[in-house]
Amino acid sequence: MTVPALSTSGLDKNFGSLVVAKSIEIALPRGVRYALIGPNGAGKTTLINLMTGMLRPDAGRIILGDEDITALGPEERVRRGLVRTFQINSLFPHLNPLEAVTLAICERERIARTWWRPTSDYRAAVDEAYSVLEQLMLGPVCTRETRELAYGQQRLLEIALALATKPKVLLLDEPAAGVPREESAELFTAITNLSQDITVLFIEHDMELVFRLASRIIVMVGGRILLEGTPDEISADPRVREVYLGGAHA
């Protein structure tokens, strides 16, 4: 059996008496598209924070490939290929997309330590930045300040920044959150077109998107994993209907 791209074992996290993660066991095989669903407060974003090192688990281990990364800080995890995006845009408002993505690439290549040569001298990095932006349909607006972009474009830039770090595992926290229907098509296309080498785990409330993009689905409730399976198994399961599909989102 091949080693999963990312796995967790016995992951626990409490905020005081509130259990936000309990015995989380996940194994994501390489290249799969996983959706993480569950009602609000189920601990989905907390799980992403634990996996990316933004939060420290109380117990348990996180393994990326064959390396235990539990003790590593967020930066080191990114350098090893575990990258996330944010549910609420976390961008560089006064940089334009070209600068922002070039910045991410320069950091990845350690060019960012150079302070004597102009950025424009690093043509390969700029070329790569532009091709990432083009892949996400941001080419035409690459020299406009981020804060001036349409919301949907900012969501795309979230993904562009993550892609610029050359992730092995990409965690998307509600990539389509707040995007109007008219703008969401581009976003779906972008996610569908992500390289098959990248393992993707995404949190999403839009069931249409979940069933369209995910090859497998994990359902979380109250900090625990309720169930994992194919979209068909999940939609047929009565427990899921009860806690989720039949609940707030009916």
Give the pair of three-digit tokens for residue 186.
Answer: 């581009």
Count the residues in the chain.
250
Judged by CB under 8 A, which stretch of 1-9, 22-30, 140-148, 229-237 contacts other proteins?
A: 140-148
**Are 4 and 41 spatial neighbours (Cβ–Cβ below 8 Å)?**
no
Helix, strand, coil share of the chain (percent; to 5): 40, 25, 35
Nearer to other proteins, 70 or 146 (CB): 146
Q: Which residues contact 217 (CB under 8 A, 6 or more apart)?
A: 34, 35, 36, 37, 210, 228, 229, 230, 231, 234
Longest dimension (CA), the chain: 62
| Interaction between residue 107 and other proteins (CB under 8 A) | yes
**Residue 43 CB, nearest distance to other proteins (Å)?**
20
The stretch among 112-120, 176-184, 200-208, 214-222 that binds other proteins (CB under 8 A) is 112-120
Contact status: 219 vs other proteins (CB under 8 A): no
118 touches other proteins (CB under 8 A): yes
Q: Does 84 bind other proteins (CB under 8 A)?
A: yes
Part of the chain binding other proteins (CB under 8 A), chosen from 1-9, 124-132, 196-204, 213-221: 124-132
> Is 141 a binder of other proteins (CB under 8 A)?
yes
Q: Give CA 210 to chain center in angstroms.
A: 14
Find out whether 163 and 200 touch, Cβ atoms under 8 Å: no
According to DSSP, the residues that pair with 171 across neighbouring strands are 84, 201
> What residues are paired with 4 via a beta bridge?
none
Least gap, CB of 112 to other proteins (angstroms): 4
Contact call for residues 58 and 12 (beta carbons, < 8 A): yes
CB 167 to other proteins: min, Å? 10
* Shorter beta-carbon distance to other proteins: residue 130 or 211: 130
Residue 72 engages other proteins in binding (rule: CB under 8 A): no
Using CB under 8 A as the binding rule, whether residue 61 contacts other proteins is answered as no
Q: Determine the Cα–Cα distance for residues 14 and 16; give it in Å rounded to an integer.
A: 6
Residues 6+ apart with CB under 8 A from 8: 24, 25, 26, 50, 51, 60, 61, 62, 63
Q: Does 69 bind other proteins (CB under 8 A)?
A: no
Of residues 62, 69, 122, 223, which one binds other proteins by CB under 8 A? 122
Which run of H or E residues covers position 6? strand 6-15
Check residue 207 for interaction with other proteins (CB under 8 A). no
Among 51, 132, 159, 162, binds other proteins (CB under 8 A): 162
Per CB under 8 A, residues contacting other proteins are 52, 73-79, 83-84, 86, 90-95, 98-100, 102-104, 106-108, 110-120, 122-123, 125-127, 129-130, 139-143, 161-162, 164-165
